[in-house]
Amino acid sequence: MFRRNIDERPDLAARAEEFGFHFASMYGEKYWDESAFYQFSLRQIEDHLEDPTEELHQMCLEVVKKVVRDDDLMRRFKIPESQWDLIRSSWQNREPSLYSRFDFAYDGKNPAKLYENNADTPTSLYETGFWQWLWLSDQVDRGELSRRADQYNSVQDKLILRFKELAAHQRHRGKSELLYFACCKDTVEDRGTVQYLQDCAAEAGVKNRFVYVEDIGVDEEGQFIDLEDQPIRWMFKLYPWEFMFVEAFGELLGQHDICYLEPPWKAILSNKALLPMLWRMFPDHPNLLPAFFDDETDKMKAHGGRFIKKPIFSREGANVSLIAEDGEELTLSEGSYGEEGFIYQLAHFPSKFGENYTIIGSWLVNDQPAGISMREDSGPVTQDMSRFIPHIILD
């Protein structure tokens, strides 16, 4: 695993315009950075990232299986009791999922370590599935990269295939085949992710519409409706379950027959309580970091070292602090999360390549490993503003 410098494509801006990539930079900062790339061997990809991703996903499903049955654990995961039925029935009915992303620390040699599972609302999908794919194709065409260079990235192929399967699943159950896509207003990144998914769905022949989360309405019967008052019966929402559970319309969830992507049971996986649960069920697994609940902090001493304190519900590395061996707490990132409580995970900083701390996003589509994305930050805790770097496989 190397980090190599490379010239940007001279027509990068024109390519971004041509393909509608509108968030190559965000808030005045460069977000897509192709002045460098990471190079992996095939063995690193297959043995160190792809296989562990599949295994960890199966382990996560074991956690869901255990937690949904256990009221105490549901409370530990801070899931409102009013939503337990929704989650349980979605799991019992095996409601299908679309995609997830694990975040790993990996240095090319030692086992990748799982930071967290973005199982509910992962973004940076377009950059992964299409934009870095196009970068490789362009750089090979220009002669800047070897024709033998490959990429671990079948995300787009798998998404289209998955949408076909999901539509067939709806059809067989006699459910709506019109898929609504929803995200919040005023975020170009989220809208970009959703537009990409819509394009993939359309490519798969799935009829779809878009509605902003804030524009979703409720009719006299309590059904969710779009801006034209048409009922929403199948919906992909790029909006966290834990917010939907407690917002005004949360009490209507489960009252009507609506199929969701991601399904409600994903609320158990996108929850940081997953991490201590995994450690409890699969202790000393090579891809896990020791992790504990609030009331298990006495076990931290046995592992020596420092721990990272993370809120149970948080996004993009907000509200993280470092607990030193002597118990002193140092704030690493600010934010507005944490009211539901915290978990503790052994401090394990991302691998450093030059001045950059690098995190690998490992994607699953339809329960299958599908590719990776690389994010770099100048500090050890990944925030919203980290840069996206492409990668290749070349032995």
Q: Which helix (H) or strand (E) holds 38?
A: strand 36-40
- Scan residues 58-77 and list those touching other proteins (CB under 8 A): none
Contact status: 155 vs other proteins (CB under 8 A): yes
Among 88-96, 218-226, 259-267, 293-301, the segment contacting other proteins (CB under 8 A): 218-226
- Scan residues 356-395 and list those touching other proteins (CB under 8 A): 371, 384, 393
Contact status: 151 vs other proteins (CB under 8 A): yes
- Scan residues 22-61 and list those touching other proteins (CB under 8 A): 42, 45
Closest CA to 309 of 300, 133, 164, 233: 300
Shortest Å distance, C-beta 129 to other proteins: 7
Contact status: 83 vs other proteins (CB under 8 A): no
76 or 101: CB nearest other proteins: 101
Among 77-85, 166-174, 242-250, 260-268, the segment contacting other proteins (CB under 8 A): 242-250
Shortest Å distance, C-beta 8 to other proteins: 19
- Scan residues 185-204 and list those touching other proteins (CB under 8 A): 185-187, 189-190, 193, 199, 203
28, 109, 248, 327: which one binds other proteins (CB under 8 A): 248
Alpha-carbon gap, residue 60 to 97, rounded angstroms: 13
100 or 321: CB nearest other proteins: 100
Closest CA to 129 of 43, 209, 199: 199
- Scan residues 250-269 and list those touching other proteins (CB under 8 A): 250, 252
The count of residues interacting with other proteins (CB under 8 A) is 74
33 or 190: CB nearest other proteins: 190
Instruction: Report which DSSP code applies to 223.
Output: -
Give the Å distances, CA to CA, from 8 to 32, 36, 127, 209.
11, 8, 16, 36
User: 317 and 382 in contact (C-beta within 8 Å)?
Assistant: yes
Residue ranges with strand state E in 217-261: 217-218, 224-225, 234-237, 259-261
Secondary structure class of 366 (helix, strand, coil): coil
Closest CA to 241 of 117, 83, 94: 83
- Scan residues 102-141 and list those touching other proteins (CB under 8 A): 103, 116, 118, 120-124, 129-130, 133-134, 136
Among 6-14, 147-155, 255-263, 275-283, the segment contacting other proteins (CB under 8 A): 147-155
Mark out the alpha helices in 84-148 (DSSP H runs).
84-92, 125-126, 132-141
Alpha-carbon gap, residue 357 to 350, rounded angstroms: 5
Contact status: 249 vs other proteins (CB under 8 A): yes
